């Protein structure tokens, strides 16, 4: 049993919460309090009604989420917003959100952990947002085919591959989640190959016109790494149990 | 015992909620659900922590408020915002907000009921906002002194009187709450005397320069009428008990 | 051989171009002139470099596109923007864009033709944008399973199905391309089932919370219908050859 | 008899006019010229018609004001704006405005002089605005009761006290005039007690929810200190007579 | 000797002041009061210091101007703004501004009177702004040469002629003052010839590219007609003397 | 025969393109590609249809312009925009735009070269825009008359002189093209005399009120210097022929 405030402080420090400016209206940090005590830690990609229910069933009372409550503000507290909030309050479930800090973190960020899972090595970062680079650049495997093979092994749910760039890329850019903001910045860093979660439709044409390799592996699937890592580290630090709350999100 | 949805529908209809556009970010209507059943109705000016506590203690499970939850958005749900929301959810307290609809309503609006309490008769309305007039114009008593006497009797907590206009005004403008938006429109309707709740400091000079009578009777005190009337009507309609939740707000 | 201006006028009239306001910066109508004469008509979803090349190879000199040139403005005319424009000008390829007019058209719009391909019957429209409804509501097949079966037959490339709503929906909403703007308006029209092209990731949670059936069939794939139909009608009217310019867009 | 330009330069330097950015549309510095010569200095809180008349009657030809002419721009020069401007021009009355510079000045600012009148000692400043802190933090008297006693003695016209914080505050925050912008920044500086001029109504609830002591002593009354001090210093420096132009502003 | 208010009302009615929305921050109507009595009427294009001085010397106490005081707001009242205002107030000079109402008026507007001076006949109007058309379309003389001849006779100070359109225009567009906003609307009304005051430099290229005749005759010179006509009509109506205040403005 | 990319790089470096932020939507640098090879360099003030035609006739395949293509965006490519673009593409004409960099350059900028042509010596710069001063201050000739004499000799097409300032100015400010943004900053640098291209009409009054000498010599005529100098330097560096494309722009 650990004080809520200590768990929050650990997560704030570990993710460097105050140093990373996020896209409005994201609100990183503690999003819902509980009774002040934490006994079990959980992680989920989304602050949705179902993840809250599953977390409550599992006895979790501190849930770390990547997409927090305030993208779609819970105003008014009626319907799903009421049920979601009531679940958290009645089940004593504290909710902690961490978005960009858990994308770009050099050790427990989604980009870094995805690179690691693909056996790629960090070279540099790119895509500055309010003072921090939110994208990662790594070395490349021997060939684009090898890269695709590793991606399909890691993401058996399917990889959308637009292979219009070089067959032997020298460097790989990684931006988990939505990759649309990254594409136009690839040329500046001399990279033609991007691994990401989802891309808007017109990027297919841009891939052809700019001769790029774009791999879209699923928004959800590329963003399970960070919350899970933070939850595990936090649980270990405080000697608490820990569990990941998976959903079958196909997007 | 009445279904929550029926009570909400009654209030929506009675206040013509859908027809009155409010100032953003006011959100009129049901703001927090409860378990779906109403047994006692309450009214309070503000959706504050203390009014919620008092309402819960009184067994109220449907609280009508004038200043709803979303002027200061409850984001994140920590500290007072958490306590306030937890009180509502744990005590099964539904909260219903009605702001402009309860200012300008011809029968149960703050303006109309304040006029009635002063024994003044409605003549017309003024101050259009998104299709509705939110201020009231009434006949005048015999003299400004008589008006001031009635105001001080109705508001023993104190009336700030700036008497720079005519001693025998022909018509009286009323805008409960903050009156700052009304002052510059008095000339258009041929009125030099305004009863309101609060005014910014520079209106003292404007009173002197434009030769106006401005009476500031307290924001809170001028806005207890509407919620109380709606609560009483609703309770009577559904044959439920009803109580007003007073605070000692001095502003 | 037909005058360019006559072909443009026909398309403008047939799509009611002047009556349909589009999202900025979409520019419907003639986007690139040619030498003033049309001999073969083509259709493509995107105004991309590859579609222009294929069209030129096929001898097309009037290409109707759904996603026109100005979503990503061709400024400056260097790199792909230069090559794309040079291809059009050197190959005498006129380009005609029609976006929302070809989504919402009751006969040759993407929504209507997709409904027809699914054997569904138009009931009403929804989702107003600047005076026109851009979404379609149809009757429903016997069951959600039957609907999914038809979708998978029509789109063998894959359908992302989020089946959280009713198993026997009464009505079906259709919005080709990006469906994100439609979801929050389904409740107003009493529909819980949407067929669309692509959806952002958080709509998975919304499907679960609001109990909706959302079918994402691919942005490109749901928008080949309109341009093809307009091209065929135009070609027939002027007795010209016609060809569709397909790409293997996986998004 | 002193040159106007010298008096203006003295005031500019003494208030560090160029270093303090004010809220738009405040315009600090000389607001109305006169014939170029100053013989008597005056001070008033507001650039109102009555203060101008009184100043002219007293033979003042250089009037320092806190709330200058351009909060309510004198456009067009008809009615009160014409009379006010004509009074100044015909009576040869130069008007000099100084707003934020006379709030936050460490010696002759409203905050500092109010602290001094209450026998409180400056500790630090808070509430940054465009590079300057505009609020003051002082030590505290022995108890909240003692503080309230001193306030009521200094402001016999009345003090609105919302006493929801600690009974023995350690530090006191001061922001003369409107205090609404200061309240949400009290926690950051570890202070729960604010002395100010006026507060909007909802701060009563915030006082209760955040457990704060808020003392509203009147906007006008808390802002007579700075202009008076600057006028007296300026008059002494140039060996000119000086007079304060009081009004009975109740706000 | 006539009451100021009567003169103002006459001008307001004659120019339909309340019905013509002007470009912000233009303020049409009375801009500076005087002692309430008018004995001599004047007209000037600009509310400048020199026109005010000349008007005062001529004994004018009601000056009608086209470009009023508030294009460059007189804030603060120091330097030229002070001298200008002091001149008006000390010399008892009321100032009345009328901008768009005196451009587009069918009888005493600058467009209409310029057309008349060129012996051209009104056909229709164009260039809608907030509900009123502010440009005029007239018949054409026999040839562009004839038009140019008449212009050079009327404006001996010089006419900048860009003759890239037809030699025998069928209709002529007129917009006095700045014509930049009119050029792109000429095609819609089937006109290729514009008479105006001034044009930005890039319109030379547009003239060549769009094959237009553009005649720039001077902003000042094309806008002396309206104020003079209104002043004369007003003076005649009230049986007062009247004088035009000319300057040698070369722009 | 030189590679296009080398010519572009030379111009970028010489004009310090990346260091000078321009007014949106100006786009400095290469605006239209060609086949990648340059054989003859040209210069023109405007990216107009006629300058493109003349350049093509002269065999120019790299045209430097001051007012580039994107002030009036070429969208859609129909009418003049199509013809202009087709001329460039079919005639293999690369277009390079350089606006502010060629106004403020200390050696080949319009300001500097105009000063040199008038035999004036650079003293300092003024008028900061996004980190660079875009105006020039020089010494003065013996008298204003001498200055005017030199201007009329340099610009025989006519100089609009508003001589309301000192007869013996000490310093001269220069801003080629539109000078409207410079006038209000003259006092700060202690200058009363401005040489520029064009001025809006109300600056005549400002000249009189602020006692300024304003010389408007024509927007086009004051901006032929920079493009010509850059073209000549570039041609010399690469040993290519060079030609200036003049138009008879009277503005």
In a domain, D228, yes or no: yes
Question: Which of D160, D205, D251 faces B250 most closely, judged by CB atoms?
Answer: D160
Residue C89 shares a structural domain with residue C143: no
Residues of B with Cβ-Cβ distance to D219 under 8 angstroms: 200-201
Residue A120 shares a structural domain with residue A180: yes
Round to whole Å and give the CA distance between E130 and E144.
Answer: 32
Interchain contact, D78 vs E27, CB within 8 Å: no
Contact partners, residue B116, CB within 8 Å, separation at least 6: none
Q: How many domains does chain A contain in total?
A: 2
Interchain contact, D46 vs B205, CB within 8 Å: yes
Residue A112 shares a structural domain with residue A209: yes
Mean per-residue pLDDT of chain B: 96
Is residue A103 part of an annotated ligand binding site? Answer: yes
Partner C, chain F 189-208, Cβ-Cβ below 8 Å? none
Partner D, chain E 76-95, Cβ-Cβ below 8 Å? 76-79, 82, 85-86, 88-90
Q: How many CB pairs under 8 A join B and D?
A: 99
Residue B116 shares a structural domain with residue B75: no
Is residue D99 part of an annotated ligand binding site? Answer: no
Interchain contact, F206 vs E251, CB within 8 Å: no
Interchain contact, A251 vs C204, CB within 8 Å: yes
Round to whole Å and give the CA distance between F41 and F51.
Answer: 13
Round to whole Å and give the CA distance between D45 and B23.
Answer: 32
- Per the annotation, where are the binding residues of B? 66-67, 103, 219, 223
Residue F29 shares a structural domain with residue F107: no
Round to whole Å and give the CA distance between F150 and F154.
Answer: 6
User: For the segment D6-65, what is each residue's pLDDT rounded down to a tens digit?
Assistant: 999 999 999 999 999 999 888 999 999 999 999 999 999 999 999 999 999 999 999 999
**Is B5 part of the contact surface with chain A (CB cutoff 8 Å)?**
no
D199-211 burial code (b ≥16 CB/10 A, e <16): bbbbbbbbbbbbe
- Per the annotation, where are the binding residues of E for a divalent metal cation? 66-67, 103, 219, 223
Q: E124 to chain D, minimum CA–CA distance in Å?
A: 34
Contact partners, residue A83, CB within 8 Å, separation at least 6: A49, C209
Mean pLDDT of the region A70-96: 89
pLDDT reported for residue F26: 87
pLDDT reported for residue E25: 82
**Torsion from C-alpha of E200, E206, E212, E216, nearest 10 degrees:** 10
pLDDT reported for residue F70: 76
Interchain contact, F90 vs C90, CB within 8 Å: yes
Mean per-residue pLDDT of chain D: 96
* Res. D1 pLDDT band, cuts 50 70 90: confident
Mean pLDDT of the region F138-165: 97
Going residue by residue through chain E, which has 251 residues, state the pLDDT in tens, using 9 for 90 and above: 899 999 999 999 999 999 999 998 888 999 999 999 999 999 999 999 999 999 999 999 999 999 998 766 667 999 999 999 999 999 999 999 999 999 999 999 999 999 999 999 999 999 999 999 999 999 999 999 999 999 999 999 999 999 999 999 999 999 999 999 999 999 999 999 999 999 999 999 999 999 999 999 999 999 999 999 999 999 999 999 999 999 999 99
- Greater model confidence, B233 or F72: B233
Q: Tokens at residue C221, please?
A: 């794939």
Round to whole Å and give the CA distance between F99 and F68.
Answer: 8
Residues of F with Cβ-Cβ distance to E203 under 8 angstroms: 251
Residues of D with Cβ-Cβ distance to E76 under 8 angstroms: 27, 29-32, 69-70
Contact partners, residue C155, CB within 8 Å, separation at least 6: C217, C218, C221, C222
Residue F109 shares a structural domain with residue F172: yes
In a domain, C43, yes or no: yes
CATH number at residue D34: 3.40.1390.30
Chain D residue whose CA is closest to E87? D89
Mutation target for E interface from D35, D76, D96: give the one with most E CBs within 10 A: D76
Partner B, chain D 23-52, Cβ-Cβ below 8 Å? 46, 48-50
Q: Which residues pair with E194 in a beta bridge?
A: E173, E214
**A128 pLDDT more than 80:** yes
Are chains A and E in touch, 3+ Cβ pairs below 8 Å? no
Residue D119 shares a structural domain with residue D203: yes
Chain A residue whose CA is closest to C220? A201
In a domain, D134, yes or no: yes
Are chains F and C in touch, 3+ Cβ pairs below 8 Å? yes
Interchain contact, D77 vs E85, CB within 8 Å: yes
From the first residue on, what is the mean pLDDT of each consecutive set of 10 residues in chain B (251 residues)?
96 97 91 97 96 97 94 80 96 97 97 98 96 97 98 96 98 97 96 97 96 98 98 98 97 93
Round to whole Å and give the CA distance between D17 and D27.
Answer: 10
Q: What string of DSSP letters covers chain A?
A: -EEHHHHHHHHHHHHTGGG----TT---EEEE--SSEE--EEEEEE--HHHHHHHHHTT-SEEEEEE-TTSS---SB-HHHHHHHHHHHHTT-EEEE-SHHHHH-TTTSHHHHHHHHTT--EEEEEEEETTEEEEEEEE--S-HHHHHHHHHHH-TT--EEEE-S-SS-SEEEEEEEE-HHHHTTTGGGT--EEEEEE--TTHHHHHHHHT-EEEE--TTGGGSHHHHHHHHHHHHHHT--EEE-------
**Is E220 part of the contact surface with chain F (CB cutoff 8 Å)?**
yes
**F244 pLDDT more than 70:** yes
In a domain, E251, yes or no: no
Round to whole Å and give the CA distance between E179 and E216.
Answer: 8
In a domain, C251, yes or no: no
Mean pLDDT of the region A106-131: 97
Interchain contact, A77 vs B33, CB within 8 Å: yes
How is residue E22 annotated by DSSP?
A: P
Interchain contact, D201 vs B209, CB within 8 Å: no
Mean pLDDT of the region D154-167: 96
Chain F residue whose CA is closest to E223? F201
* Res. D72 pLDDT band, cuts 50 70 90: low
**C109 pLDDT more than 80:** yes
Is residue F66 part of an annotated ligand binding site? Answer: yes
Residue E89 shares a structural domain with residue E107: no
**C74 pLDDT more than 70:** no
Interchain contact, C70 vs F69, CB within 8 Å: no
Residues of E with Cβ-Cβ distance to D86 under 8 angstroms: 89
Residue E52 shares a structural domain with residue E28: yes
Residues of C with Cβ-Cβ distance to F79 under 8 angstroms: 33
Contact partners, residue A149, CB within 8 Å, separation at least 6: none
Round to whole Å and give the CA distance between C82 and F33.
Answer: 7
Residue F44: Cβ within 10 Å count? 27
pLDDT reported for residue C235: 98
Nearest to D88 by CA among B202, E72, E90, B208: E90
Angle between helices A203-210 and C79-90 (to 10 degrees): 90
The answer to whether the CB of F133 falls within 8 A of the CB of F125 is yes
Residue B237 shares a structural domain with residue B161: no
How is residue C25 annotated by DSSP?
A: T
pLDDT reported for residue B134: 97
Q: B198 to chain D, minimum CA–CA distance in Å?
A: 8
| DSSP reduced 3-state for F131 | coil
Residues of B with Cβ-Cβ distance to D158 under 8 angstroms: 158
pLDDT reported for residue D73: 66
Q: Do β-strands F2-3 and F171-178 pair in parallel, antiparallel, or remain unpaired?
A: unpaired
* Res. C215 pLDDT band, cuts 50 70 90: very high
In a domain, A151, yes or no: yes
D100: left (phi over 0), alpha (psi -120 to 50) or beta: alpha
Residues of D with Cβ-Cβ distance to B186 under 8 angstroms: none
* Res. A24 pLDDT band, cuts 50 70 90: confident
- Per the annotation, where are the binding residues of B for a divalent metal cation? 66-67, 103, 219, 223
Are chains E and D in touch, 3+ Cβ pairs below 8 Å? yes
Residue B112 shares a structural domain with residue B206: yes
* Res. C92 pLDDT band, cuts 50 70 90: very high
In a domain, F121, yes or no: yes
Binding partners of E (≥3 Cβ pairs within 8 A): D, F
Residue F121 shares a structural domain with residue F215: yes
Interchain contact, A33 vs B82, CB within 8 Å: yes
Chain B residue whose CA is closest to D184? B72
**C147 pLDDT more than 70:** yes
In a domain, A127, yes or no: yes
Mean per-residue pLDDT of chain F: 96
Interchain contact, C72 vs A197, CB within 8 Å: no
Q: Torsions phi, psi of C56, nearest 5?
A: -65, -40
Range of the domain at C162: 103-219
Q: Which residue stretches of D16-109 are H helix?
A: 49-57, 79-90, 100-104
Chain C residue whose CA is closest to A47? C205
Interchain contact, B75 vs A30, CB within 8 Å: no
């Amino acid at each position: 049993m650990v004080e809520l405030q200590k768990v929050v402080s650990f997560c704030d420090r570990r993710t460097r919460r105050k140093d990373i400016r996020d896209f409005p209206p994201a609100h990183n940090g503690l999003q819902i309090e509980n009774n002040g005590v934490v006994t079990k830690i959980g992680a989920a990609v989304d602050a949705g009604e179902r993840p809250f229910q599953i977390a409550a069933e599992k006895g979790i009372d501190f849930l770390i989420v990547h997409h927090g409550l305030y993208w779609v503000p819970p105003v008014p507290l009626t319907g799903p917003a009421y049920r979601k909030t009531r679940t958290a309050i009645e089940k004593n479930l504290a909710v902690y959100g961490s978005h960009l800090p858990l994308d770009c973190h050099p050790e427990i960020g989604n980009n870094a952990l995805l690179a690691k899972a693909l056996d790629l090595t960090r070279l540099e970062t790119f895509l500055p947002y309010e003072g921090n680079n939110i994208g990662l650049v790594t070395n490349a495997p021997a060939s684009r085919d090898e890269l695709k093979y590793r991606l399909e092994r890691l993401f058996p749910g399917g990889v959308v591959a637009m292979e219009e760039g070089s067959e032997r890329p020298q460097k790989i850019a990684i931006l988990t989640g939505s990759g649309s903001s990254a594409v136009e910045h690839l040329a500046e860093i001399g990279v033609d190959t991007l691994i990401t979660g989802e891309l808007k439709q017109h990027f297919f044409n841009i891939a052809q016109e700019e001769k790029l390799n774009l791999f879209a592996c699923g928004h959800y699937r590329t963003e399970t790494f960070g919350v899970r890592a933070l939850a595990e580290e936090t649980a270990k630090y405080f000697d608490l149990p820990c569990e990941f709350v998976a959903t079958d999100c196909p997007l």
